[in-house]
Structure formats: C-alpha cells, structure tokens
Amino acid sequence: MRAAVRHDRGMSISVGDTAPEFSLPDQDRQVVSLAGMRGAPVLVVFYPFAFSGICTGELCQLRDELATYTEAGVQVVAISTDPAFSLKAFRAQEGFDFTLLSDFWPHGAVAQAYGVFNDKAGMALRGTFLVDAEGKVAFAEVNQPGDARAQSGWKDAVSQLAAA
C-alpha cells in the first residue's frame, strides 16, 4: 500500500488516489485501522491539537452535525499528533461520539503519509479526506493552521458519494 503515498514535500493526496493505510490507537488505546473500516465510507479529519480553540470549535461542529455523516453511513475519525490520554480527556470534556486517533508515535507518520504534517511545528495541518468504501479518496481539502474549515464541502462530498 505504501506505493500510493506521495513523498513530495507539501504534496497531499488527491481525489482518486488510494488512501494511505493506517492503524492508530484511539482515545482508549484500542487500535483502529482504515482497512478495518473498509466497506463503508470514512471521513478522516486531521487537526493540529486537542483543546486548542479552532480545533475544538471544528470538532464541536462535527459533533453537533454528526448525524449528517452517520445517517449517510459514513464513519468519522479525527486524527492529531496528541497522545491517547490527552484525546481521552478531550473526548470526555467535549462529548464527542466519534473516534479520536493518536498519530503520536512514530510522530505524525500518518499525517505525513497524507501530506498534511507540519514538521516544523510537529503537528497535523487541517486535512480532511473522504475515503469511499473501496479505499479511494473521494474528497480532499487541506487548510493551513489558523484557517478554520467550512464543513459544507464535506457534506456536499458525502451527498455526492451517497448519490453515486
């Protein structure tokens, strides 16, 4: 699966690419893999840091509008380079009903595979990828730090996938 990963600096994966495989611990240290979710679309949301202002706002909006995704059969995972114990506290504090994954070690390896790792800051950029049931990228968007995402694009991509 590694062949699908582009290693060009700053180049994220694009629509039509095979999504890079990953296996990461969730907030309860249970390993979650993209392969294990195959058969249903997956919204993969990278974010810089748990508990930070913009990230909390984005993930709270995702929490509040989660039915938009789950009713369309989409699984949602949010990935940061925070350790699992931070994610557990973040999830509990904010009442998130979706999985938080820790890309802590090797530090940012999955964010790097998706082309959304800021190696100077040691964090993920705001990358959002909708992976279809076969593992292909159906939607890709990358926002810079401090640039909050408009989630309407994600919902449009989910409806287009559902209509296809």
- Over residues 8-23, the pLDDT tens digits come to 344 679 999 999 999 9
3-state secondary structure 100-132: EEECCCCCCHHHHHCCCEECCCCEECEEEEEEC
pLDDT in tens, 69-84: 999 999 999 999 999 9
pLDDT of 133 > 50? The answer is yes
Among 43-52, 127-136, 138-147, the least confident range = 138-147
Cα–Cα distances (Å) from 140 to 15, 39, 92, 111, 158, in that order, read 6, 19, 28, 13, 12
Q: Mean pLDDT score of the chain, rounded to an integer?
A: 90
Domain regions of the chain by residue span: 2-163
Confidence bin at 60 (pLDDT 50/70/90): very high
147 falls in which pLDDT band (50, 70, 90)? confident
Average pLDDT over residues 43-49: 96
Task: Using alpha carbons, list the distances in angstroms from residue 81 to 35, 50, 139.
Answer: 20, 9, 22
Q: Regarding beta strands 137-143 and 126-131, do their DSSP bridges make them parallel or antiparallel, or are they unpaired?
A: antiparallel
Whole-prediction pTM? 0.89
**2-163 belongs to CATH 3.40.30.10:** yes
Catalytic site positions: 55
Residue 81 confidence (pLDDT)? 97
DSSP string, 11-52: PPP-TTSBPPP-EEEBTTS-EEETGGGTTS-EEEEE-S-TT-
Report pLDDT for 11.
64
pLDDT band, very low/low/confident/very high, at 68 (cuts 50, 70, 90): very high
pLDDT exceeds cutoff 90 at 135: yes
